[in-house]
Amino acid sequence: MPIDWASVNWVNVLLLSGFAFVAGLIGNLLGYKSRLFGAILTGVLFAAAYIFWTYYPHGIVLPGTKPA
């Protein structure tokens, strides 16, 4: 089954990719002694950014999602 590229929410993809990039960058900079620590830190930072963006009452929601 091919992907319908027109139905992809590109703003959402770019925003979450940006969160993952920044979390990865910070995780690798702070976890330079251990790759495992850097990976864990990256996951935690991404989760924190996603939870903040989705559930913090700042009035901005991810495109295509309902406000909490």
Report if residue 41 sits inside a domain.
yes
Residue 37 pLDDT: 87
* CA separation for the pair 6, 66 (Å, rounded): 21
- Whether residue 38 lies inside any domain: the answer is yes
What is the rounded CA–CA span in Å between residue 60 and residue 31? 31
pTM comes to: 0.68
pLDDT on residue 58: 66
- Whether residue 11 lies inside any domain: the answer is no
Supply the pLDDT for residue 17: 92
| Position 28 in a domain | yes
Higher-scoring residue by pLDDT: 65, 6? 6
Give the residue numbers spanning the domain of 37: 23-57
Q: Is residue 32 part of a domain?
A: yes
The 10s digit of each residue's pLDDT in 13-68 is 888 899 999 999 988 888 778 888 888 888 999 998 888 877 776 666 666 666 55
Is residue 14 in a domain? no
Domains in the chain, number: 1
